Amino acid sequence: MIDVQAVLPGEVPPVLFDPITLRSLTIPNRAWMSPMCMYSAAPAGPDTGVPHDWHYSHLAARAAGGAGLILTEATAVSAEGRITPWDLGLWNDRQERAFAHISHLLTLHGAVPGIQLGHAGRKASTDRPWRGGGPVAPADGGWPVTGPSPLAFDDGHPVPHELTTEEIQRVVADFAAAAGRALRAGFRVAEIHGAHGYLIGEFLSPHSNHRTDAYGGSFANRIRLALQIADAVRAVWPDDLPVLFRVSATDWLTENPGDERDGWTADDTVRLAKELHAHGIDLLDTSSGGNAPRARIVPTPGYQVPFAARVRAETGMPVAAVGKITDPRQAEDILTSGHADAVLLGRELLRDPYWPHRAARELGARPTWPDQYAYAL
């Protein structure tokens, strides 16, 4: 990984390459790989949702590139929970065996293997982004979608089936079962995907949750599913290993005081963080958006960092910042200023799998590559 002791004369060791410990797990640095869907699994048949050579090479390259924690793309806890028919899943033994190979590869390269578990809710059964991303009808290999309320995500999208309380408990059980499989497959970090307008986020936001039962209406009711899933995953995950939660800190909708139908807000995120921390969540992965298709978002460099900083300042909960973090000095400044405990890199790691090694050089630490790559030093 990175030798932080080997700094240039007069330089302070970069915080970006300080280890961080969550529970008993030490992650070797704070430059982490964000979950990014590849939409490359088999869409049907016995290999549905199963990782294969594409996923192995993609993830292993970023681990060899020096990322301290690698989080897999959103991995569906059930077949109907996939965003697209080409998504990864973890609901059967075949998938579990393939994921075990991934965790082994990541560990071999010195990274901590992590997995993001999710359910797409009303945004499920869509096409791959490079083919337009529109809904895929059941006749074309898609499936009926579900959500907290019968509200379509956007024009042209199907109206979801409103989940019953019994079906909600089935979703909670699916998350727990997938977490158990992930643990057996060798993963050391589990992340619950509660962001970007997928099922958990749909329940959180009054923009998409118009229920009047115990899972809708008040803030306490709307966060109920998130807390139940956190409890269910935490119950099967070892006490000495961390569980993370990804949240969209805001829906980016106009926030009118007193009108809860406007959407999820940064204030809500701070309140949720306190509850999640009390339920055993160890770090909040702070993103934004995804629940309202025409929300106005201007993605400037580090535009989501203030949300992470606020959670950290007001709750004391560890946070990771994500979004337009591309420069090593920018990442270092986020950490040294106390805005976050780690940074998550997405598109930048697609452009440059070895970004952490390059960042180490720029910040004055010495990259320690695999022996096979020593000629590059």
Active centre residues (catalytic): 198
Query: Coil, strand, or helix at residue 262?
Result: helix
Tell me: the pLDDT tens digits for 47-62?
999 999 999 999 999 9
HSE-CB at 241 with a 13 A cutoff on CA atoms is: 20
Output the pLDDT for position 7.
52
Is the pLDDT score of 262 beyond 90? Answer: no
> How are beta strands 243-248 and 189-194 bridged, if at all?
parallel
Domain residues of the chain, as ranges? 2-376
- Cα–Cα distance, 243 to 334 (Å, whole number): 23
pLDDT bracket for residue 366 (50, 70, 90): confident
Q: At what angle do helices 224-236 and 165-184 cross, to 10 degrees?
A: 30
Please name the residue ranges forming H helices in the chain. Answer: 53-64, 93-108, 165-184, 199-204, 219-222, 224-236, 266-278, 305-315, 328-336, 347-351, 355-363
Q: Which CATH architecture has domain 2-376?
A: Alpha-Beta Barrel (3.20)
Q: Does residue 11 or residue 295 have the better pLDDT?
A: 295
Q: State the average pLDDT over residues 130-139.
A: 95
What is the predicted pLDDT for the residue at 340?
98
Residue 254: per-residue pLDDT: 65
Which of the residue ranges 12-21, 117-126, 227-236, 241-250 would you say has the lowest mean pLDDT? 12-21
Which two tokens mark 152? 């379509």
Specify whether the backbone of 134 is left (phi greater than 0), alpha (psi in -120 to 50) or beta.
beta
- pLDDT on residue 374: 72
- How do residues 55-86 score in pLDDT, each as one tens digit? 999 999 999 999 999 999 999 999 999 999 99
Average pLDDT across the chain, whole number: 94
Give DSSP secondary structure letters for 110-134.
Answer: TPEEEEEEE--GGG-SB--GGGT--
Q: Give yes or no for residue 210 having a pLDDT over 80.
A: yes
Which pLDDT value is given to residue 5?
42
pLDDT score at 377: 66
- The model's confidence at residue 367, banded by pLDDT at 50, 70 and 90, is confident
pLDDT tens-digit map of 7-50: 555 567 899 999 999 999 999 999 999 999 999 999 999 999 99
